[in-house]
Structure 1
Amino acid sequence: MNPGAHTQAPPAARGEAPACAGCDVLVVGGGINGAGIARDLAGRGWRVVLCEQDDLASHTSSASTKLIHGGLRYLEHYEFSLVRKALQEREVLLRSAPHIMRPLRFVMPHDAAMRPAWMIRAGLFLYDHLARRQLLPGCQTVSLRGHALGQCLQPHLDRAFVYSDGWVDDARLVVLNAIDARERGAVVHTRTRVTAAVRGAQGWTATLQPAGGPARELGARVLVNAAGPWAEGFLRQARPAGAGAGPGRSLRLVKGSHIVVPRCFEHDHAYVFQNADKRIIFAIPYEQRFTLIGTTDVELRGDARGARIDAAETAYLCGQASRYLRRPVAPADVVWSYSGVRPLLDDASGDPSAVTRDYLLEPDTVGAPLLTVWGGKITTFRKLAEEAADQVGRMLGQSRPAWTRQALLPGGDLSAWIGPARRPDVDLARFCQALARSHPWLPDPLLLRLARSYGARVDRFLPASAAGMGREVAPGLYEAELDHLRRDEWATRADDVLWRRSKLGLHSSPAQRDAVACWMEDRHETRMVA
């Protein structure tokens, strides 16, 4: 088997996944780490089952700042290894999915009261040279006087540093990994809890509880705990067979909140604002008409499911952005907000911002093998998954070669439309032009959204004419796409479509969102009756 080649999904994978009597690896958790690990393992030929208690990417992995970045500020905490690893991954990821990722230039206005210019220059020099760059331009210093980048900023800011990183549609990244895992033979169960995991000498017996369905048992040779904020709790649950002490590690749950406001500037660069508390916040162009501002770092006590932005966080983000922006940002401007809980490996740091963003893979082979994923960040998910698959291979007694570094994610191979790849951003523009030629009836905003969401796979549901799109259920959202999301991307509820598979919720009224909910409910009831 060529692990880099797509395999045809089994018929059952296109609808409801069948009950599986046994597998090589059970992966618990359908965030970016779990989906990435399932993809890598399936591509190496192992039988994999992935279980997610809610929707794919329904928690931390859809609530990030949506950046593919090295983490410039981590250099201040001497996390050189983490930064280098993340920088090495940026261009690997950008090449793998040019439709959902793109290069992004960041502008850091210089405020001498925060950090001296020499320190920033030194940090950016390291940032440019810790890993090889081919796609992304290096840093530069610009004068903001009379410059488009300075028009939205306070007049006393006269100089800025500009550097490169990348942007990603985080929730779609998870979905694409799950699709790739399925097409390489994995079985993916969403809205399915692993309510028990009994450890034997040779394997695991897990109880899977689907929402609204009967529980069933699954046997697995290895269990991978990628439950994110719930990893520590799941690990305590998964040791009932006398396999030693409880978890030797602990997670520190840190809430990061973001606000979305009407567009604060017209250009396509993002801003990095330095704060008096030594933190930074980003202001990023978002969904054409908005600006995304974040993030906070707040210690969370209690269940991660209850994480919500509070008034103090909103005031903090508005206040810090207003220190730099010519037009202040007020809480009344916020049109949407979201919070994610980062499951960070507790390193006894007193400052939540200083807790390491690196990951740790902890194997346990006392009895049936168990691998627990601690921490991690979106930028390093592929490397984490590769290392996890290597460890699982050793646990199974059969190492198989890594394959994902050169592989493209579903939709990322645009060659049939545009020929050989050049640069990810250029390739996406060429793809949009090709799509416009083949489907001239598509309105420009819809064409751009579909191209950025599905890439080369858009032709799997896009008809030859507008008549084939079906009814427009909400602005820019037609039945043909909804059917595809329900059939092939595990979408079962309106929120899955409006806030994770897309961000159309931002562009819709409450009545329009209700119309999508009714459509999804009708299809679900029809399927249940059938």
Structure 2
Amino acid sequence: MASGNETRDGFDTDLLVVGGGINGAGIARDAAGRGLRVTLVEQDDLAAHTSSASTKLIHGGLRYLEYGEVRLVREALIERERLWAMAPHIIWPLRFVLPQTNSPRPAWMVRAGLFLYDHLGGRERLPATETIRLANDPRGDGLRQRGRAFVYSDCWVQDSRLVVLNARDAADRGATVLTRTRLVDAARAGGGWRATLADDGGERTLTARALVNAAGPWVADILSRVPHARDDRGVRLVKGSHIVVPRLYAGDHAFMLQNPDRRIVFAIPYEGAFTLVGTTDEAWEGAPGRAAIAPHETDYLLETIARYFEAPVTREQIVWSYAGIRPLYDDKAASASAVTRDYVLDLDRGPAGANENAPMLSIFGGKITTYRKLAEHAMAELADTFPDAGGAWTAGATLPGGDFPAEGFEPLVDSLARDYPAIDRALLRRLARAYGTKARVLLGEAHTAADLGEEFGAGLTARELDYLAATEWARTAEDVLYRRSKLGLHVPPGTAERVDAYLARAPA
């Protein structure tokens, strides 16, 4: 299991980051861009768990204002347009319709919250809140009741791709990214860390000056593998589940639906033909791992659909569901939905009197929208250990493929269509959405679709699989069909088996 980092100053790497979700990938990218030698290890695929099971929003978190999370909301709102500019191929604006019918909150309270939402975070390009009458507005089509509604802005994100692009950028800046690689144990030694890693090829030892525990739901599990680790920070695991159903309404807007129990459910256009509905908030008492939606969660989401939409939806119509475990900082809130989404960074320099130059930084909580800022804060915590590292740099740096104007997606598609006239425009649009300007790298000198090799369904070709395996660490059909893309919702039966067979015989 080759590292790729040269041994220097007695250490194989400066920073060992454990966890390939959004926080781990973001920290690895930030650190690599400051000139540090970075090794990122992930026990499964990148974004295999929490970071691919989100509601896929870049948002301030309107409902968090209700819990007094003003600092978190402000930071997230500032990051919202910044992230859009960094990756406009995978992040784009979305308007949310917030009906007041069935609302457990008075309209004045909701409007006051939206006023803060519009002005708290330096909104520049996203449109402000408006009030509409759904009875005479097409955005009310498909609803059971069409009274007054507020319409506000947030952004959509392809969450798994955001993780992968951060890891890709980290690797482009010199980081070593090791997927399917597990941290067996770690201990302070020789003024730094000695870690045992394991993959299919066996175990190896890696030394590092500092350790970042960004293992998400496994953050406490990692701490248990470290002798004398501090345990005064708690993590609270909360499961969130979503269902995907045939499209409930026309239009490219989303809905924010308020339920009688004061919980929020989103209904969002998804993959063209579908609507994504979620999320739930359920305390998770088991060990971290792969989660699935429970029958009562499905009932809750179906009841929400029935409360608001004319078209009935049955269990049999659900085309896909997914669930994820969120590792929230335990602030002792009474309900899972009220637990803070803010993050806590815990810097542990070891027992009193021990080596003071072997820090471990553990990440508790957080949300996708604030990952970049969290990474900056993480590097600030480690500044004493790396005094020669560069300064903060990520605020204005685009992610791979995102080097075009935030409002320039359609011109990008037009440009690809001019340069590849014999390739279907719908395919070019999908590739632009996934890869941005890197779509040209993938397409290369292809003149026709046949030049892209074997076709696996829904426009997925051998050329794309080769690209994903070579540059984005994809190894299995699940990596490709449900994380690097959502083509699993569109391909015919048997595609996953064909993709797995192709990737298995592809050169490493």
TM interval, short-chain normalised: over 0.9
Distance of 1:313 and 1:20 partners within structure 2: 49
Distance of 2:208 and 2:256 partners within structure 1: 46
Counterpart of 1:381, as a letter, is Y
2:142 aligned counterpart, secondary structure: coil
| 1:104 alignment partner in structure 2 | 94
> Residue 258 of structure 1 contacts residue 339 of structure 1 at CA under 8 Å; is this kept in 2?
yes
Distance of 2:388 and 2:165 partners within structure 1: 27
Aligned counterpart for 1:225 among listed residues 164, 188, 213: 213
Q: CA deviation at 1:332?
A: 1.6
Deviation digits for residues 60-92 of structure 1, max 9, x if unmatched? 000100000000001110111111110010000
> Residue 102 of structure 2 contacts residue 259 of structure 2 at CA under 8 Å; is this kept in 1?
no
Aligned counterpart for 1:359 among listed residues 333, 338, 343: 343
Aligned: 1:187 with 2:170:
no
Q: CA deviation at 1:398?
A: 3.6
Distance of 1:207 and 1:217 partners within structure 2: 5
Q: CA deviation at 1:444?
A: 2.5
The size of the alignment, in residue pairs, is 496
Counterpart of 1:434, as a letter, is S
Q: 1:293 to 1:311 in 2, by over 3 A?
A: same
Aligned counterpart for 1:323 among listed residues 297, 307, 311: 307
Aligned: 1:503 with 2:486:
yes
Worse-superposed segment, 341-350 or 325-334: 325-334
| 1:345 alignment partner in structure 2 | 329
Q: CA deviation at 1:464?
A: 2.9
Deviation digits for residues 290-317 of structure 1, max 9, x if unmatched? 1000000000111221411011111100
Cα RMSD, aligned residues only = 1.5
| 2:456 alignment partner in structure 1 | 473
Superposition map of 1:274-289 within 5 A:
274-289=258-273
> Residue 5 of structure 2 contacts residue 37 of structure 2 at CA under 8 Å; is this kept in 1?
no
Q: CA deviation at 1:338?
A: 0.3
Structure 2 residues not aligned, in runs of 5+: none
Q: 1:20 to 1:338 in 2, by over 3 A?
A: farther
Distance of 1:236 and 1:327 partners within structure 2: 49
Aligned: 1:213 with 2:196:
no
Distance of 1:145 and 1:157 partners within structure 2: 5
> Residue 411 of structure 1 contacts residue 455 of structure 1 at CA under 8 Å; is this kept in 2?
yes
Superposition map of 1:167-182 within 5 A:
167-182=156-171
Q: CA deviation at 1:520?
A: 1.5
| 1:492 alignment partner in structure 2 | 475
Aligned counterpart for 1:464 among listed residues 438, 446, 450: 446
> Residue 390 of structure 1 contacts residue 400 of structure 1 at CA under 8 Å; is this kept in 2?
no
Q: CA deviation at 1:115?
A: 1.1
Q: CA deviation at 1:20?
A: 6.1
| 1:8 alignment partner in structure 2 | none
Aligned counterpart for 1:251 among listed residues 222, 235, 241: 235
Q: CA deviation at 1:232?
A: 1.0
Q: CA deviation at 1:404?
A: 0.3
> Residue 35 of structure 2 contacts residue 389 of structure 2 at CA under 8 Å; is this kept in 1?
no
Q: 1:188 to 1:20 in 2, by over 3 A?
A: farther
| 1:202 alignment partner in structure 2 | 191
| 1:417 alignment partner in structure 2 | none
Distance of 1:225 and 1:312 partners within structure 2: 33
Counterpart of 1:460, as a letter, is V
Deviation digits for residues 312-355 of structure 1, max 9, x if unmatched? 11110010121001112222210000001110000111110000
| 2:379 alignment partner in structure 1 | 389
Distance of 1:159 and 1:113 partners within structure 2: 11
| 2:23 alignment partner in structure 1 | 33
Counterpart of 1:347, as a letter, is D
Deviation digits for residues 390-442 of structure 1, max 9, x if unmatched? 2222223445310000110000003xxxxxx3xx2x30111111111111122
Q: Work out the percentage of aligned pairs sharing the same amino acid.
A: 54
TM-score normalised according to structure 1 size: 0.91
Counterpart of 1:464, as a letter, is A
Worse-superposed segment, 45-54 or 467-476: 467-476
> Residue 185 of structure 2 contacts residue 225 of structure 2 at CA under 8 Å; is this kept in 1?
yes
Distance of 2:140 and 2:479 partners within structure 1: 38
Distance of 2:103 and 2:13 partners within structure 1: 58
Aligned: 1:82 with 2:72:
yes
Deviation digits for residues 233-253 of structure 1, max 9, x if unmatched? 101211x2xx4x641111100
Distance of 1:489 and 1:459 partners within structure 2: 16
Counterpart of 1:77, as a letter, is Y
